[in-house]
Structure 1
Amino acid sequence: MNAWKHRFTGPAGILQVLRVALPLMISTGTFSLVLFIDRTLLLWYDGSAMSASMAAGNLFWALICLPFGLASMTGAFVAQYVGAGQQEKIGRLLWQSVWFALGTAPFFLILAVLAPWMFRASNQPPDLIALESMYLRILLVGAVGSVLDTALSGFFSGTERTQTIMWCSIATAAMNVVLDVGLVFGIGPLPELGIVGAGIASAICFWFKAILFAALIWYQADESLYGFRCGRVFDFPLLKRLVFYGLPAGLQFVVESGGFTLIVLQIGSLGDIPLRATTMAINFNMIAFIPLIGLSVATSVLVGRHLTQSGPALAQQVVWSALSLALTYSLAWTAIYLLVPDTLLSLYRMGNIDSGSEASLALARGLLGFVAMYVLFDATQLILAGALRGAGDTWFVLLGTTACSATALSIGHYFEPSDTALRWWWWAITSWVWMLAVTMLLRFIQGRWRSIDMIGKRDVDLLP
């Protein structure tokens, strides 16, 4: 026990966390890079297409994040089974996640039918609704694949085989970029499809990654240890446990991403130029933010494993080491946003852009200042929320996120000024992130997460 404690304190602890986290950070970083390239290509193709992809892409995430969040708890369960020495239960658990993912197909079909109505209800500019609806519907074709990919990747993250996730993500990202360039602009035998091509490229890659993970598990994982083939049954009690802890994780993603999407849609109602400027600033925010999701997942996995294997003291050391990494990384991005914003935004001028995009660039420069104000707090809430989810404290994460989101949206909606609406909504985003960071920090310090029994190692009732 003392040897383990020593490994997770000071520089040694940071290196141990980084061993698991770095491949996941690279994996999620490739995703943010693909999104950035995707939207930049659409800006070069047509500025309105970029705006439509931002609004529709955010709505897609808001619609998918409930099943995505539930499936993402697979990794935390696998980690706790590993820590408790119950690897033989992993195969059956993974199949429950697979059945759940496949069962979401009718839900996404209904959402695809309702796509135009959702954009009209949010008062989007009429000239963008057709583009937004088309892009969203194509993304929804790949939605089941995305949830399935999340469920299957939980085996690799939970068993700390994060390099497999990294290489699969890099391969998928490379395919996505090639398809994006070919299908947006029409290269060689590929037709020029604009925003439709970007959507098709993403949908294909969602399914490609899921199939790749499934093949690796089926042909390479140790059947005698994990029991994948014999676990191909429907186990309602196990599915119930997965849903109990995964549902609040999914709902937390719904609340967080839904709140952000509502703010983006409010900004979209101000017109194409404010929405385009917001898209530009958020693109650079994503480059800093999304790799930290990988660090958050690693924190969740390590906390889950060491709670069942070594106890809460070591799990807490993991969290402080992960938080040190996250703050160091985010501090570097804060300096970049403040010192060289024009250098960042000059990347958008590399293609042919219209006068609207030039006006958006001027607005985006100021918006990067808001990103600099909240990026450290965003890192804090991500790591601590990941730690709480890994311990099974998912219901508090949901309630805390809901309270912070409702507060930010209420302030933004009821006190929105008419002359500075864009900046006002960005203040709402900033204060929202600040509140999330404080809420998660207080809960982590309070320590309720230390005594939660997620996998039934102790015989306790499933109560929130």
Structure 2
Amino acid sequence: MNETLTKKDKLKQLIVILIPILVTQLSMYSMNFFDTMMSGHYSAEDLAGVAIGSSLWVPVFTGLSGILLSITPIVAHLVGGSKKEGVAYSVIQGVYLACIMSGLVIVAGFFVMEPILSGMDLDSNVERVANDYLIALGLGIVPLFIVNVLRCFIDALGKTRVTMLITLSSLPINVVFNYMLIFGKFGLPELGGVGAGYASAITYWVLLIISVAIVIRQRPFADYHIFSRIYAVSITKWKEILKLGVPIGFSIFFETSIFAAVTLLMSGFDTVTIASHQAALNFASFLYMVPLSISMALTIVVGFEVGAGRYRDAVQYSWIGVSIAVGMALVCGLVLFFFRTDIAAIYSGDGAVVKLTSTFLIYALFFQLSDAIQAPVQGALRGYKDVNVTFIMALVSYWVIGLPLGYYLANHTDALAFGYWIGLIAGLAIGALTLLFRLIYIQKQTSSHTQQTFQ
């Protein structure tokens, strides 16, 4: 990544970093899609089991992996400030922390997984598939968390295309092992949906081997000598990673778990409503990959400029990113509005489900507009290492405002199921506005600090 002098150069560099991140996020999203879809072709029980297992795993994984995202701004600041000697030390401490976190997840899963599944009143076969799927997936938790650390290091250097290629290579691996282990091909056991868990675990180990090989052998990563020596555990560095990462992780957890909570609360509605809600939410989550990717790209470029003390450039990058996100949201909004019935038909051939899904998708349009502001702004704030206030805002906007408002509207007004979506939209909008004000405040603070330095 290089210093840029004009807005045009900044736009070009941001796009070069952004596009591979977007492809990477879509690829990761596709992996979960193939697990669910291929299990569904085996049996309805396996589909339900894998879907339930995934719904329990995804909020936990995204929240905890969010903690490790702090490696990106830490490395970006070091590189931007020409302190390359500290990069390997920070990355290895991140790897140590990833291993500890993986172990804690495995231990916690051993004690809480069975009681949670038993309390859901599931069909015995569905419960078995969900339980065994999560156990199988657990075999790949350690490499998955370490891969996330290495991905943050690679992305922080602006080499997001490498991450994209690594992730793209995982898709065919995952699909092939899914096919062999779900359906019992080429002499392997026929495991049904549980096979998808083992396939994912194998894929994570392959990803780790590829990532380590690239970091060791390929420049510019090899120049940092990440694995050239053994570093002692540093509680001080862990504190730095956690101080920055825990608020990031909790912010992501609050955002992802709110949708799981709404789905749980909607279980009292009829099957058509639940199916329509899930279909619309799935497509909205797919579109969210755009602002999320812009957010991750902004963390890299803003962190690089802030680390180098070029605060004016950091401000320009922030608003270029938000502008791109808003523009993309308008395009996606038009697609949603005019093609909502066609989009709904992708998920179901049932006329009632298609009709209701297309209505839910109109509400999803407003998600896009709020996400176009809150996600990029959140990414820019992470580049400034400003995460604590963001965490509080996420908690308040989603859980204190959005969910209670949605519950009230759904259960005490004529809005019914749409009430939950209205509540979520309100929470997202309030979160977007408060984050926007926070970014403007931080930019003014850094600008004022720069002026005082030169006086």
Q: Give the TM-score normalised by structure 1.
A: 0.86
Shift of 1:97: 0.5
Correspondent of 2:383 among 387, 390, 394: 390
Distance 1:136 1:424, change over 3 A: farther
Correspondent of 1:87 among 80, 84, 88: 84
Matched residue, 1:196? 194
Correspondent of 2:217 among 207, 216, 219: 219
- Greater displacement, 305-314 / 177-186: 177-186
Shift of 1:371: 1.3
The amino acid that maps onto 1:292 is P
Shift of 1:384: 0.6
Structure 2: gaps spanning 5 or more residues: 448-452
Separation of aligned partners in 1, 2:11 and 2:109? 44
Matched residue, 2:440? 445
Separation of aligned partners in 1, 2:304 and 2:114? 44
Q: Deviations over 1:222-275 (max 9, x none)?
A: 656455423532122222211111111112122222222222222245465544
2:402 is the alignment partner of 1:408? yes
2:143 is the alignment partner of 1:145? yes
Matched residue, 1:309? 308
Q: Deviations over 1:250-304 (max 9, x none)?
A: 1212222222222222224546554433332232223221243332111001111
2:365 is the alignment partner of 1:364? no
- Greater displacement, 431-440 / 217-226: 217-226
Separation of aligned partners in 2, 1:174 and 1:403? 41
Structure 2 counterparts to residues 62-461 of structure 1, below 5 A: 62-113=59-110, 114-121=112-119, 123=120, 126=123, 128-220=126-218, 225-226=224-225, 228-230=227-229, 232-268=231-267, 270=269, 273-348=272-347, 360-406=353-399, 407-417=401-411, 421-447=416-442, 451=446
Matched residue, 1:462? none
Distance 1:430 1:180, change over 3 A: farther
* SS of aligned partner of 2:93: helix
The amino acid that maps onto 2:38 is L
Separation of aligned partners in 2, 1:146 and 1:268? 32
The amino acid that maps onto 2:286 is I
Query: Between Structure 1 and Structure 2, how many residues are aligned?
Result: 442
Shift of 1:74: 0.7
2:10 is the alignment partner of 1:13? yes
Separation of aligned partners in 1, 2:167 and 2:36? 19
Q: Deviations over 1:189-214 (max 9, x none)?
A: 45543322222222222332233212
CA contact (8 A) 1:92 1:232 kept: yes
Shift of 1:159: 0.9
The amino acid that maps onto 1:96 is Q
- Greater displacement, 429-438 / 176-185: 176-185
* SS of aligned partner of 2:69: helix
Distance 1:53 1:345, change over 3 A: farther
Distance 1:448 1:429, change over 3 A: same
The amino acid that maps onto 2:54 is G
CA contact (8 A) 1:268 1:274 kept: no
CA contact (8 A) 2:132 2:194 kept: yes
Q: Deviations over 1:115-139 (max 9, x none)?
A: 2322455x56556544443433333
Q: Deviations over 1:368-393 (max 9, x none)?
A: 22211211211221111011011110
**In angstroms, what is the RMSD of aligned CA positions?**
2.9
CA contact (8 A) 1:277 1:360 kept: yes
CA contact (8 A) 1:55 1:261 kept: no
* SS of aligned partner of 2:411: coil
Matched residue, 2:450? none
Distance 1:138 1:278, change over 3 A: farther
Separation of aligned partners in 1, 2:33 and 2:52? 14
Separation of aligned partners in 2, 1:195 and 1:450? 52
Distance 1:262 1:377, change over 3 A: same
CA contact (8 A) 2:398 2:424 kept: no
Matched residue, 1:455? none
The amino acid that maps onto 1:218 is I
* SS of aligned partner of 1:230: coil
Q: Give the TM-score normalised by structure 2.
A: 0.87
* SS of aligned partner of 1:340: helix
2:37 is the alignment partner of 1:40? yes
CA contact (8 A) 2:284 2:364 kept: yes
Separation of aligned partners in 1, 2:402 and 2:172? 37
* SS of aligned partner of 2:91: helix
CA contact (8 A) 2:215 2:222 kept: no
Separation of aligned partners in 1, 2:290 and 2:133? 25
Separation of aligned partners in 2, 1:331 and 1:267? 29
The amino acid that maps onto 1:316 is V
- Greater displacement, 82-91 / 266-275: 266-275
Shift of 1:84: 0.4
* SS of aligned partner of 1:447: helix
* SS of aligned partner of 1:172: helix
Separation of aligned partners in 2, 1:247 and 1:449? 25
CA contact (8 A) 1:404 1:432 kept: yes
Separation of aligned partners in 2, 1:247 and 1:329? 30
Shift of 1:40: 3.4
CA contact (8 A) 2:91 2:226 kept: no
CA contact (8 A) 1:168 1:209 kept: yes
